[in-house]
A and B are shown apart, each in its own frame.
Chain A
């Protein structure tokens, strides 16, 4: 007999096991998010928006009203809901392609307007859902389906520093952090602080999460974790980048 693992209260047991590939980081991100929602007691008020990307597989993940939007468009849909109903806690959940490429104008403008929403962005250094193409976050020389000879930074630039960019364009009342699925306790803390910043009406909140995509990286478990824990942080600094009125952790 197998015992079901302990799940966050706001998860929807009927849709578990989830739809992500074995070893995918998305499940861990949503675990941290689920626990943060539970601890803040906001399940009832929360509206979850998921992008097109592997985040779309979370369309029935929670016992939370959820809207699957278009690729890159989750930020404006959640912004629209929040502007029309301020009681809602709006979460926009997306990938690095969704947030930093096709949806970058929305991220930049929502951040500039200091929208009272929370954006959670999964950085797995590629376009997972479409089969592993280059993303804005792809590391220098990393091979993907559209950088088959390795990412050439001369021709395609360096990995996007998302949280740093968001921090640079938001006022002091915004919350910005970068966590990792390699430290779920810390990640949950970042998620809670991000959501609290929205609950208090303070301002925009943004959490990028370093996460694994073993399917498209074509890595085994050991290689996947090595990439997340050792390689990715060389380009993406983990920690809080902007904390309204508080000392940062990380």
Chain B
């Protein structure tokens, strides 16, 4: 059996789904649980072909509720376990994800956003932002990385396992169908070759020894008897969340410092916005871009600082205001007006962004 999936570094040209499968292998993911859905399928297809060669496992479940809960089981057994889904599958996974949130179970979920609501399209959207960040009957104690390139898909898939196991919050890679299906160049690497140490995992159950004799039994629960009891538990989760949020939050800025128009966009849309900013700057226009890499938690302070100095904030997204809600909430109290370009289920080009900004200047 081959030892390391990737030795050192390797320059490749492949689809985003293939990238995720390789990244999970490189990260030492031990088991994937999944259910077919477009545009996620090929993550499973590559995983089922590659995994046996490296002693990794796979289970195709009967649906996504089961895929989410079996992933929880894999984590409880102390394995680096993950799942991947999209659209209506992500909807079904909200039940297991809310359990993971409540019980601090470090599952990794890859989401390849497709059009919604309902079955809609199998192609592309950014309409799973609200659901991935806040789905289920909880407070949204979830870490969400919104990737924009294949290199990031690789980097952040590896990172997701480490973030999840370090902080013990469910962690999500929020991609989309365009990233899944398009081919792009990137460098794959063995994390160790870059000095990335994988955070060790540990079992929650079957830890060895006789419970009650050699050690205390681990009684894991998600049900509480009174309002006050629940309040303490949720406040405990949220106080950890608040404590770690600043060190988890990531963002990128492009000419944001002196921007009069500050464009906010995430995921693949940032690529159009970055190109638009370049062009507008060449025209001498003071336009910049703030790109949250983590949608949960958001790099709120930095965003506020930039927005405060701008004349207008322009939110651009392939959804009808899902990012905008998060941004507007973070900018509460500032007087900078927020404009929107909302294109649910449709891609955004640099030309469109240039045109929209030109209307504002």
Contacts and interface: CB of A to CB of B under 8 A. Distances in A.
Instruction: Note whether A and B form a binding pair.
Output: yes
B36 interface: yes
Most buried by B among A52, A127, A130: A130
Interface stretch (B37-45, B96-104, B286-294, B328-336): B37-45
A212 interface: no
Given A145-B45, A146-B48, A102 B35 contact: yes
A213 B24 CA distance: 32
Contacts of B52: 149
B41 A71 contact: no
Nearest to A102: B63
B347 interface: no
A24 interface: no
B119 interface: yes
Contacts of A97: 36
A133 B60 contact: yes
Nearest to A134: B60
Contacts of A233: none
Contact of B88 (A71, A101, A134, A146): A71
Contact of B119 (A71, A131, A134, A148): A71
Given A70-B119, A146-B60, A149-B52, A130 B45 contact: no
A203 interface: no
Which range contains the number of A residues in contact with the other chain? Answer: 20 to 34
A133 B62 contact: no
A104 interface: yes
Interface string B31-67: 0000111100100110011001000001010111000
B118 A146 contact: no
Interface in A212-245: none
Interface residues of B, number: 18
A136 B62 CA distance: 8
Contacts of B49: 148
A84 to B, nearest CB: 21
Contacts of A131: 36, 38, 41
A112 B44 CA distance: 34
A68 B120 CA distance: 11
A72 interface: yes
A101 B41 contact: no
A63 interface: no
A74 B71 CA distance: 27
B63 A101 contact: yes
A100 B62 CA distance: 8
A156 interface: yes
Interface string A49-73: 0001000100000000000101110
A128 to B, nearest CB: 11
25 contacts: A52-B119, A56-B119, A70-B88, A71-B88, A97-B36, A101-B62, A101-B63, A102-B35, A102-B63, A102-B64, A130-B36, A130-B38, A130-B41, A131-B38, A131-B41, A133-B36, A133-B41, A134-B60, A145-B36, A145-B41, A145-B48, A146-B36, A146-B44, A146-B45, A148-B49
Interface of B: 35-38, 41, 44-45, 48-49, 52, 58, 60, 62-64, 88, 118-119
